[in-house]
Amino acid sequence: MDNSVTVNPKGAEPYDIMIRLGFDDLCDALTSIFPPSCKICIISDINVSKLYGDELKSALYKSYKNVDLLELTLGEENKSLDTVSKCYTHLTGLKYGRNDVIIALGGGICGDISGFVASSYMRGISYVQVPTTLLSMVDSSSGGKTGVNFESYKNMIGAFKMPRLVYINTSVLNTLPDREYASGMAEVLKAGLIKDGSFYEWLINSFSEINERDTEIVTEMIARSIGIKKYYVEKDPYEKNERAILNFGHTVGHALEKYTDFKYSHGECVALGSVAAAYISWKKEYLSMEEFYEIRDMFVPFGLPISLEDIDTDRVIEYLKSDKKNTAEGIKFILLKKIGKGIISTDVTEEEIREAIGQINYVED
């Protein structure tokens, strides 16, 4: 099943998100945007490059003669200005100009770094996202948020840079490890919880096919998730207001990523953060007790955690307070007014946060 979605962010050039079962249509899509005379630099995680680097280059060689591949070792510890500097050195060494193109082949870290490089190299060149993880397909590859970590701050240095094209080849999910696939499901479930209750129910009813990676079901799931992301990006492309609702589960989630020294994946921490946010939503009487427990328990069939052992709540709150998304009014939390409706809240108290963290804190007797 092929799908295409066009994103029209205010103040930025529209771009297509193409969902395909292979790389066959990528070259034609690129030539409709970029002339064959331009140079293309593929930036990729070295592990992803081993799987798909040659295949992608072969697809591009149909029309482009100047294609090279920059392989990087990428993890949270490499999501830094040092890695960005390596990209600048490569691009300047090969004399890339403002009319040339970067393609990000990989997961969210690769896309964030490549997008930031594209936003800043020669004051901005074009880039294309070719995401290879479920998480990057449904979330980070579209929307234009780029960035790197700085000291203990996640994504502290960055820019908004919209891609010219997002090309999703769902066949690459066949080689994605189960834990990484589950990580992406946290963002998918989040999408339904904040915007579309019927989609959330569909996910729950389809969990067997989703876990089996049924091509038709997964394609529909990705397309519907992207549709929700598109809604917020078009309304608020630079996250001045409503787009922040996409950060449901991320307030506690980002703090837990730092607290666990990134031993837990982004999606795993978002799942835990979503349980905490749903708990606060229940305590504020937005959700019923039954709805809270259903939300909590439904992460489990998708291979996601709902608790951690022996959490140091004080340390988590310390990380949480340093989050760049906080405002002068207070810690910005995304809560659920109901299943399918996320809201922005700045009146969550520290006591409520501590109680919510207690809900995901497993302490052995």
From the candidates 180, 187, 220, 268, give the one annotated as an active-site residue: 187
Catalytic residue status for 247: yes
Catalytic residue status for 254: yes
CB 157 within 8 A of CB 84: no
Q: Nearest 5 degrees, angle CA 14-CA 191-CA 128?
A: 35
Alpha carbons 30 and 363: distance in angstroms, whole number: 53
H or E, element range at 3: strand 3-7
Alpha carbons 107 and 342: distance in angstroms, whole number: 26
Residue 7 vs residues 53, 109, 117, 231, 233: alpha-carbon distances, Å: 27, 22, 22, 9, 8
From the candidates 164, 195, 230, 243, give the one annotated as an active-site residue: 243
Catalytic residue status for 145: yes
Q: Which long-range contacts (CB under 8 A, 24 or more apart) does 264-268 make?
A: 264/305, 264/308, 265/179, 265/180, 265/183, 266/108, 266/135, 266/183, 266/186, 267/135, 267/182, 267/183, 267/184, 267/185, 267/186, 267/187, 267/304, 268/182, 268/183, 268/186, 268/304, 268/305
From the candidates 20, 190, 254, 296, give the one annotated as an active-site residue: 254
Catalytic residue status for 179: no
Alpha carbons 28 and 59: distance in angstroms, whole number: 10
Catalytic residue status for 315: no
From the candidates 149, 155, 169, 247, give the one annotated as an active-site residue: 247
Catalytic residue status for 90: no
Q: Are strands 126-131 and 101-106 parallel, antiparallel or unpaired?
A: parallel
Longest dimension (CA), the chain: 67
H or E, element range at 51: helix 46-60
Catalytic residue status for 229: yes
Catalytic residue status for 250: yes
Q: Nearest 5 degrees, angle CA 361-CA 248-CA 110?
A: 100
Q: Is 320 left (phi over 0), alpha (psi -120 to 50) or beta?
A: alpha
From the candidates 57, 230, 266, 296, give the one annotated as an active-site residue: 266
From the candidates 79, 229, 230, 296, give the one annotated as an active-site residue: 229
Residue numbers annotated as active site:
123, 145, 187, 229, 239, 243, 247, 250, 254, 266
